[in-house]
Structure 1
């Protein structure tokens, strides 16, 4: 049935034939009058762009008549934005040189503007920059952004934390659809490879107006890498080596584009051994491997655009329990997870006169298997014991278990998403968007153990949002209504300890947001936003009744839980000139009926029992920082940022898993390019994490620590179309033995990763 619905929706959107025009011109330096080479010319509404040639010239074809926003960006220049009327040819645009980092168009907000034009503050980072800083995984990389951390189980499992909120309170979007991969579990990681992701955008605060339930804490928006420019073909091969885990990652990509058709394909593989702490101990079974494939097929003419994307990700991740075997193998031991995730998305856009209609459809299939020792050895043959080879036999036993293992837990999660938006014709200074979103989801069990029962969930939401622009002021607001129904089957027999009753619940919520931005010249920006959000209880919170082996606890759900409902106020201040930038962000987040796990003091099957309960909570804090790049030393950069968050229950006590306060200082230099080596850089970074003494009743305090990192790199040019990027970086260079407050291995006294050196090469063809 789902397949038929998908086919009907795909066939319903067909291209229309309109007159087509060409937009061309020249980009020059405002100070010297020289042409600007390789500047990016982009029309956000059409999602079309190109690069200037050696003479600063550009041309974009197949554009229909109308008014469009034009965005021009180039390294070393201020980003340029203005509206243009097409058809138009031979325009000359001058842009100002600047040491300030160039801006990009923000995709996660509804009107696709530059960050300086947005009413809502959004942080954006290129994944390539995160990798340069030594990120092992995507979850590790995003924790380098202010206000964003990660709850970790070793290095292979990481869950994003935005201003103290995580799990189902942070919504992850990839390929334009919400990521659904049983994310309720503490030991369920992000499940997305950084390879093939172009950039990351973070909305820090409730975004239920745009995304519905689960965006109560914010949104992590992953933009896929872009297709090649029109009539070009590109390819790249890259590899990375990680010294701490003796790990490696390899990836190959090819993409080509014509006037209308585009194609992209990328394959990646990564494998890591157990990581080593600062005192030289290998943390047993933190090893993992990951296979990833991403593909894309696009079509665009003057009135219709389609982008079909597919991502397959398979991860085999060990679940650490205690320090044991010390070796460098990369195949996970028991217990371990095997996770297959398929994501198919189709983004359709129909361009109407001065308006557009967007239809995004997504289908996901998540197959999560967990293997445990008792199940793996059910059919094993007995072997003779040899005390002299005890450790070798233990390793062989695990390997044989892999061959004959049957999953103790196997869950299939299928999700069908749709998102229909109508961008109304612009009226004066008003822009308006109306939308309908929804999801149909089923969970099915096939293993011997049941964590959550078979269930069906249906989401439906309708919203409207508008933007009003004046010379110095911008206003944005909107309203949304959502409904979520959850129906689950019963499991077991009533009266048994493991019995799970059937659930039939419906959750409704109306939410709104309003914000204002004031800009004085181009130097000072003030943003004030007020937004409400909601989160319906997830299936685990409503129905759990069993041992959660990955989390080492017995969880008991509560079928009577209510919506979480929050109200957050954000204040953002920014100041920038040619040589100095500073920002200060503050927030206050009130959450009614906050759902959390509370230990009962009882034990079942040697696991401590945790019950899901609710209580009102408050979170507050913010980020502050600056960036200095003094003239005439524009190659020198000094950056500093401080972040803090406090989370408390209103009836007393602190919330669990709240990040400790931290300050990060980075000294960075960028050298001038020569004939063979370009984009040269070097940096030194010191992150100081303070003591975390404000902890929940079942947590212990965590001591502070400092981590030193550094890196350098550059790009070797080989002709006009080939180059090799070389990057070397190191984290925890002093090999500090420390424990993060957000590490799930902390209760066992297991330290985080020690010194790690990353060496990477990327060959652009």
Structure 2
């Protein structure tokens, strides 16, 4: 791992950040007690490690971490998948609260965040619904920035990142400046990224897809049509800090224009405004020793433009507020209580509207308690209750007339234990029961979904999704050597998923014969019993150290098996067994990393899905770190897929028409001052 990556083991989270980084490496996601003792399997990226993994999307940046894959819809679009779960089962947070967009609705909708604007990413694998609601039934990805400074700043500091290259000739840059007088602090940042079409080895479409296309279909070669794009944005923020806390406000904006790789003439133009307020007060008198408050309001819109004309406009605006209160010890118990309130309104306007305008309101109470029984054993337990109400409005569209209002009471409970075998080894286990209310699109969909080639029909009578999940891991941490191996299992009694009815229909849900241009597979949402289980392992070992010479080896492996219990059929878009083997060499300011990734073929796919082949990629990164005055510099060259392999992710809905990039080289420079 490069400087700024922690994984699994709690002790790993106490390492020091590189000079110029603004955040202390303490896990804050799913851990309101801030004690570096995270029971759930988790990984964090920050500093140099985040810069060296940076890609064109959040999903691509995190892809390959233990248990994490990505949706991908071309190089610009990628939403993280955790243990085979995606969409509204993975909660994407920005500084601990929701930043509303449309990325969970459709695979061609990008997450409106650029990795260059993020200082730290925390990924919690497994159910985090206890603290973040039913939409975190599969896990949480929390991106953290310092747009509201949380610690006193004296003087002026900053960071500048720039890189060029890759398989799509990306030109990307970002800069941030922070300053203060020890009490008042400010933050300003800006970023810009522009890419060309993605180069790929050979045919764009897979062998299996070309056979289905027939001999007369045009077959692009060498690059994916309409895969270019640009996005930019920035933020301003300020805060007042004192010895026992801070309070501040920030604004950030985001603009994007990128192509749909499934439709040569379709562009997506995206805009988001986000306002945040945050405060923390420590060392209080009375029953509560600390209060944390976070609030975010988002106004999001994107337009899908076909041949220069707007077809559908998606809008999502709303707020989320969260208050956590850490109480003083109650006998042996250390814990926190919290309340969370959110409301957002989503609309899809146009001739091909997929869902009605829908308002979702959520109110929740939660609590978490820990008990350090002795030096070896620590226990945790928690519960959450949330009320969810969904209110659709037809807005004059007859196909949504009569859609019923729905409301749900969802509960979650969890328990965990950590037993330290000795100072280096520990065993950690968790068990949780979680409930998730259906989303508006699972209830009310009634329209064409060109991104997946389906006409989707919701189930207005859908019930809550319920799951029992457990995981068990063995962790090791001793000096530079760290590792973890774990197993997980989740069983759903009502897993909401799409089922093809076997009918081919047009955009108005009228049946059409096979072979009709632009025919869609009719699909309905239905609850089934489902199970997910698998294994995750990662570790890093120092195998050589002499003077300034260091050699570390790293291994990451994960496997997820997911199936419909009722039929035995595989669930869609599940990544196969994957392994990453890497060697890191350091000599003073010089560094080198060689990495090999192998993914096995994925033949366990639902009926009518195409399997994916295996692939092996090789990567090489060279770094040089140096100081110039008070500034810290990192120069790097990163080569990916150096053997120019055809790579198609099983987790991508467009894997057979848009593979990953071919051989590429990127050069970059990062400085902090």
How does the TM-score come out when normalised to structure 1?
A: 0.77
Q: What CA deviation, in whole Å up to 9, does each residue of 1:118-142 have, x standing for no partner?
A: 2333211226413314633322111
Look up the SS of the partner of 2:143 in the other structure: strand
* Aligned partner (choices 353, 363, 370) of residue 450 of structure 1: 353
Mapping 1:144-183, distance limit 5 Å: 144-182=64-102, 183=104
Offset at residue 474 of structure 1 (A)? 1.1
Mapping 1:536-685, distance limit 5 Å: 536-578=437-479, 580-605=481-506, 606-630=519-543, 632-633=545-546, 635-652=550-567, 653-672=569-588, 678=589, 680-685=590-595
Any gaps of 5 or more consecutive residues in structure 2? 5-12, 203-220, 507-518
Is the 2:54–2:115 Cα contact (8 Å) retained in structure 1? no
Is the 1:215–1:534 Cα contact (8 Å) retained in structure 2? no
Offset at residue 616 of structure 1 (A)? 0.7
Is the 2:42–2:125 Cα contact (8 Å) retained in structure 1? yes
- For residues 149 and 630 of structure 1, do their structure 2 counterparts lie closer, same or farther at Cα, with a shift above 3 Å needed? same
Supply the distance in 1 between the matched residues of 2:333 and 2:400 (Cα, whole angstroms): 55
Q: What CA deviation, in whole Å up to 9, does each residue of 1:7-54 have, x standing for no partner?
A: xxxxxxxxxxxxxxxxxxxxxxxxxxxxxxxx9xxxxxxxxxxxxxxx
Q: What CA deviation, in whole Å up to 9, does each residue of 1:635-662 have, x standing for no partner?
A: 1100112100000111121100111110
Is the 1:290–1:314 Cα contact (8 Å) retained in structure 2? yes
Offset at residue 499 of structure 1 (A)? 4.8
* Aligned partner (choices 341, 345, 368) of residue 276 of structure 2: 345
Supply the distance in 2 between the matched residues of 1:371 and 1:291 (Cα, whole angstroms): 19
Matching residue of 2:28: 107
Is the 2:39–2:428 Cα contact (8 Å) retained in structure 1? yes
Offset at residue 567 of structure 1 (A)? 1.0
Matching residue of 1:367: 301
Offset at residue 545 of structure 1 (A)? 1.2
Matching residue of 1:260: 183
Look up the SS of the partner of 2:131 in the other structure: helix
Is the 2:157–2:178 Cα contact (8 Å) retained in structure 1? yes
Look up the SS of the partner of 2:223 in the other structure: coil
Matching residue of 2:515: none
Is the 2:152–2:182 Cα contact (8 Å) retained in structure 1? no
Q: What CA deviation, in whole Å up to 9, does each residue of 1:34-88 have, x standing for no partner?
A: xxxxx9xxxxxxxxxxxxxxxxxxxxxxxxxxxxxxx974479xxxxxxxxxxxx
Matching residue of 2:602: 692
- For residues 499 and 174 of structure 1, do their structure 2 counterparts lie closer, same or farther at Cα, with a shift above 3 Å needed? closer
Matching residue of 1:84: none
Matching residue of 1:13: none
Is the 1:579–1:630 Cα contact (8 Å) retained in structure 2? no
Is the 1:688–1:707 Cα contact (8 Å) retained in structure 2? yes
Matching residue of 2:670: 762
| Aligned alpha-carbon RMSD (Å) | 2.3
- For residues 268 and 103 of structure 1, do their structure 2 counterparts lie closer, same or farther at Cα, with a shift above 3 Å needed? closer
Supply the distance in 1 between the matched residues of 2:124 and 2:297 (Cα, whole angstroms): 24
Offset at residue 319 of structure 1 (A)? 0.6
Is the 1:134–1:729 Cα contact (8 Å) retained in structure 2? no
Q: What CA deviation, in whole Å up to 9, does each residue of 1:391-418 have, x standing for no partner?
A: xxxxxxxxxxxxxx3x211122111111
- For residues 443 and 632 of structure 1, do their structure 2 counterparts lie closer, same or farther at Cα, with a shift above 3 Å needed? closer
Q: Which moved more, 1:214-223 or 1:426-435?
A: 426-435
Look up the SS of the partner of 1:635 in the other structure: strand
Supply the distance in 2 between the matched residues of 1:194 and 1:523 (Cα, whole angstroms): 34
Supply the distance in 1 between the matched residues of 2:179 and 2:557 (Cα, whole angstroms): 43
Q: What CA deviation, in whole Å up to 9, does each residue of 1:558-587 have, x standing for no partner?
A: 111111111111101112334643311110
Supply the distance in 2 between the matched residues of 1:655 and 1:537 (Cα, whole angstroms): 19
Aligned length: 619
Look up the SS of the partner of 1:562 in the other structure: coil
* Aligned partner (choices 337, 353, 378) of residue 474 of structure 1: 378
- For residues 103 and 567 of structure 1, do their structure 2 counterparts lie closer, same or farther at Cα, with a shift above 3 Å needed? farther
- For residues 248 and 584 of structure 1, do their structure 2 counterparts lie closer, same or farther at Cα, with a shift above 3 Å needed? same
Is the 2:627–2:633 Cα contact (8 Å) retained in structure 1? yes
Is the 1:127–1:197 Cα contact (8 Å) retained in structure 2? no
Is the 1:460–1:484 Cα contact (8 Å) retained in structure 2? yes
Matching residue of 2:225: 284
* Aligned partner (choices 226, 232, 240) of residue 299 of structure 1: 240
Supply the distance in 1 between the matched residues of 2:176 and 2:482 (Cα, whole angstroms): 36
Matching residue of 1:34: none
1:336 equivalenced with 2:267 (yes/no) = yes
Supply the distance in 1 between the matched residues of 2:397 and 2:232 (Cα, whole angstroms): 40
Supply the distance in 2 between the matched residues of 1:645 and 1:444 (Cα, whole angstroms): 34
Matching residue of 2:8: none
Mapping 1:168-317, distance limit 5 Å: 168-182=88-102, 183-225=104-146, 227=149, 230-279=153-202, 281-317=222-258
Look up the SS of the partner of 1:642 in the other structure: strand
* Aligned partner (choices 410, 417, 432) of residue 313 of structure 2: 410
Q: Which moved more, 1:737-746 or 1:471-480?
A: 737-746
Matching residue of 2:391: 487
Is the 1:500–1:543 Cα contact (8 Å) retained in structure 2? no
Look up the SS of the partner of 1:191 in the other structure: coil
Is the 1:278–1:738 Cα contact (8 Å) retained in structure 2? no
Supply the distance in 2 between the matched residues of 1:760 and 1:229 (Cα, whole angstroms): 30
Is the 1:131–1:141 Cα contact (8 Å) retained in structure 2? no
Is the 2:633–2:671 Cα contact (8 Å) retained in structure 1? yes
Is the 2:356–2:400 Cα contact (8 Å) retained in structure 1? no
Supply the distance in 1 between the matched residues of 2:402 and 2:306 (Cα, whole angstroms): 26
Q: What CA deviation, in whole Å up to 9, does each residue of 1:518-558 have, x standing for no partner?
A: 11332001101011222211111111111122333211111
Is the 1:288–1:317 Cα contact (8 Å) retained in structure 2? yes
Q: Which moved more, 1:297-306 or 1:453-462?
A: 297-306
Offset at residue 428 of structure 1 (A)? 4.8
Supply the distance in 2 between the matched residues of 1:237 and 1:626 (Cα, whole angstroms): 31
- For residues 418 and 113 of structure 1, do their structure 2 counterparts lie closer, same or farther at Cα, with a shift above 3 Å needed? closer
Is the 2:249–2:278 Cα contact (8 Å) retained in structure 1? yes
Supply the distance in 2 between the matched residues of 1:745 and 1:255 (Cα, whole angstroms): 41
Is the 1:171–1:179 Cα contact (8 Å) retained in structure 2? no
Matching residue of 1:431: 334
How does the TM-score come out when normalised to structure 2?
A: 0.88
Matching residue of 1:716: 626
Look up the SS of the partner of 1:187 in the other structure: coil
- For residues 449 and 632 of structure 1, do their structure 2 counterparts lie closer, same or farther at Cα, with a shift above 3 Å needed? closer
Look up the SS of the partner of 2:545 in the other structure: coil
Q: What CA deviation, in whole Å up to 9, does each residue of 1:79-101 have, x standing for no partner?
A: xxxxxxxxxxxxxxxxxxxxxxx
Mapping 1:109-148, distance limit 5 Å: 109-113=30-34, 115=36, 117-126=37-46, 128-133=48-53, 135-148=55-68
Look up the SS of the partner of 1:632 in the other structure: strand
Offset at residue 503 of structure 1 (A)? 2.3
Offset at residue 735 of structure 1 (A)? 0.7
Look up the SS of the partner of 1:298 in the other structure: strand
- For residues 708 and 595 of structure 1, do their structure 2 counterparts lie closer, same or farther at Cα, with a shift above 3 Å needed? same
Is the 2:391–2:406 Cα contact (8 Å) retained in structure 1? yes
Supply the distance in 2 between the matched residues of 1:703 and 1:541 (Cα, whole angstroms): 31
Look up the SS of the partner of 2:119 in the other structure: strand
Is the 1:138–1:193 Cα contact (8 Å) retained in structure 2? yes
